[in-house]
Amino acid sequence: MGSEPKTAIPIVDLSPFLCGGGGGDEAGVKLATETIGEACRHYGFFWIVNHGVPREHMARAIELSQAFFALPDEEKRKVKPAEGSKAPLPAGYSRQPEHSADKNEYLMVFSPEFGFNLYPNEPAEFRAILEECFCMLSKTALIVQDIVNECMGLPANFLKEYNSNRSFDFMTALRYFPTTGAGDNRLSEHQDGNCLTFVFQDDIGGLEVLKDGEWIPVDPTDGSIIVNVGDIFQVLSNNKFKSAMHRVTRKSTHRHSFAYFFNLHGKKCWIEPLPQFTTDIGEKPRYRKFLYNEYIQLRMRNKTHPPSRPEDVIHITHYAV
């Protein structure tokens, strides 16, 4: 489905891992696993194709997102979590504070366990397509996590058991505002604080990843999904896997995208480099042990109360030793 992206970022065909897709394609499994391993070590970014999320679903989600963000602010603010939802992070519609360097607005959608948002003035299709994309991306993420498990050389199902609770996963619809031409065309470069992030976008472009000191454009491609490694896999691998530094360059028009964040269960999970990457090979841990929920709260404060000085923004280096 969809054409392969023309990009320097590695491309991975997931069809051998999908039910009925590979028919015992051992060569395809080997190639995809090797490509993801290399991508995680050197880029922290890779494209996936034939991933199980229909191109039509992603295109329709983008169309409905464009319609939602075009609504007046007072209408967008009516979108809130479903009654009784206990989402661990702020759900519903939000926009960055005016003094923030990141000029965007977003709609945060949560997992079935915590409930989805209510859309009082939107057609039922909007909620339905978001839920469908969320569930499909969740299945794709589990496949990719299993591949990462193999790439790390961990015991079978280690990451599946370590990261078995899906209740902290969420998806966000984003709209980036156009540049004003006053030197504000780039949003803050950053690394994601989760395990893996899956992104599909409109045809505007602007996403870039840092590789060897050079910003590489990740141009939109119909039907493909970009995946980037987050801080958690960087810590677990003791820096063997790379949490990708990336940013968005603002264009002359609005840019729309969706990001699915594959997370840990924040309230109970302790993070530290695994012995396979430290004591087993005679290397010292590069991070001290920390509670994931603590890190997430610090990251959220970066967004809700952006520090006046860039050096005060909390990154994973907060736990470095």
173 lies in some domain? yes
Which residues lie across from 156 on neighbouring strands? none
The domain that holds 62 is classified in CATH as: 2.60.120.330
Terminal Cα distance for the chain, rounded: 45
Residue 258 is assigned to a structural domain of this protein:
yes
Instruction: For residue 104, give both structure tokens.
Output: 């965007």
**Of 49, 54, 102, which Cα lies nearest the Cα of 226?**
49
Question: Is residue 305 a part of any domain in this protein?
Answer: no
Cβ neighbours for 84, distance < 8 A, ≥ 6 positions apart: 115
Record the tokens describing residue 158, joined without a space: 């280690």
Residue 294 inside a domain? The answer is no
Look up residue 5 and give its DSSP letter: P
255, 208 in Cβ contact below 8 A?
no
Per-residue pLDDT of the chain (321 residues; tens, 9 = 90+): 445 555 678 999 999 998 654 456 899 999 999 999 999 999 999 999 999 999 999 999 999 999 999 999 888 988 888 777 777 777 889 887 655 656 688 899 888 778 888 776 666 788 889 999 999 999 999 999 999 999 999 999 999 999 998 888 999 999 998 887 766 666 778 899 999 999 999 999 999 999 989 999 998 888 999 999 999 999 999 999 999 999 998 888 999 999 999 999 866 789 999 999 999 999 999 999 999 989 988 888 877 777 777 778 889 999 999
pLDDT of residue 266: 66
Whether residue 321 is contained in a domain is answered as no
Q: Which tokens is 243 given?
A: 């949490």
Domain count, the chain: 1
Residue 278 domain-assigned (yes or no): no
Look up residue 58 and give its amino acid.
Answer: M
Q: How far is 132 from 129, CA to CA, in rounded Å?
A: 5
- Residue 170 pairs in a beta bridge with 110, 261
Flag whether 209 is in a domain: yes
In a domain, 5, yes or no: no
What is the domain range of residue 113? Answer: 11-265
Q: CA-to-CA distance for 235 and 289, rounded, in angstroms?
A: 10
